[in-house]
Amino acid sequence: MKLYYSPGACSMASHVVLHEIGKPFEIEKVSTKTKVMESGRDYWAINPKGAVPALELDGGEVLTEGSAILQYIADTNGATDLAPPAGTLARARVQEMLSFIGSELHKSFSPLFHPGKTDAEKDAAREVLQKKFEWLESRLADGRAYLTGSNFTVADAYAFVVTNWSNVTGVSLEAWPKLKDYVARVGARPSVQAAMKAEGLI
C-alpha cells in the first residue's frame, strides 16, 4: 500500500494506523497548495478531489476519504482493536466518533487555516471549537483512556491529529485537562511518534 500525505494534515491519522498494524507500506508527500507530489507527478491524477489522504492499494485501486481509509486498513488486517467488527455497537461507536471528528471538529478548524478569513471570523471559529472540546472532555470524564473505551481505535488516531492542530492555531487546551492529557497520551504512542518523525514534524 502507498499513502499520499501532507505533513501534519488529516492524512497523518492514516499514517499512524498504518504504523499500528505493522505491515510494510510506502508514503509520498503531496503539496496541498500546488498538488504536486514529491516525485514531481501531478496529484490530481491520483485523486481528482485534490485532497489527502489517498491510499493506493496493491492492485492499483485508489481509496480516498480518511474515515474510509482508516476503517479499510483496520478491517483488511484483522485489527479489531482498531476497528471492532461491523454490525456491533462498538463499531457503531467508533463510526460515531469518526463522523463527529470529520464533520464537526475537523471542519471547525478550517477557518483558522484559511488566509482569507478575518480575525473576527477566526475568533468565531475558536468559540465553536470550544464547544466541540467541551463535548470531548465530557467523553473522557469517566476516566477512559480513549474516546470509545479502553482500546485505541482509528477514531483516536483521527481525533489526535485534528485536536493537535490547536498547537498551530492559537487554541489552548488548558480549559480541558482530560482532553489535554488524552492528546499527550496518544501522542506518546510509538505509531504516532513514528508517523510524526517520518513527516518531519519531530
Q: What pLDDT, on the 0 to 100 scale, is given for residue 170?
A: 86
Please state the pTM of the whole predicted model. Answer: 0.96
Q: Which secondary structure element, helix H or strand E, spans residue 29, and what is its range?
A: strand 26-29
Q: In terms of C-beta distances under 8 Å and separation of at least 24 residues, what long-range contacts does 131-134 make, across chains too?
A: 132/104, 132/105, 132/108, 133/163, 133/173, 133/175, 133/176, 133/179, 134/176
Burial (CB < 10 A; 0-12, 13-18, 19+), residue 179, is buried
Output helix, strand, coil percentages for the chain, rounded to the nearest 5.
50, 10, 40
143: left (phi over 0), alpha (psi -120 to 50) or beta: left
- What three-state secondary structure class fits 98? helix
Cell of 8: 501534519
Cell of 31: 503539496
Per-residue pLDDT of the chain (202 residues; tens, 9 = 90+): 999 999 999 999 999 999 999 999 999 999 999 999 999 999 999 999 999 999 999 999 999 999 999 999 999 999 999 999 999 999 999 999 999 999 999 999 999 999 899 999 999 999 999 999 999 999 999 999 999 999 999 999 999 999 999 999 989 999 999 999 999 999 999 999 999 999 999 9
Q: In what order do the strands lie in the sheet with 62-64?
A: 26-29, 2-5, 54-56, 62-64
Q: Which residue carries 476519504 as its cell?
A: 65
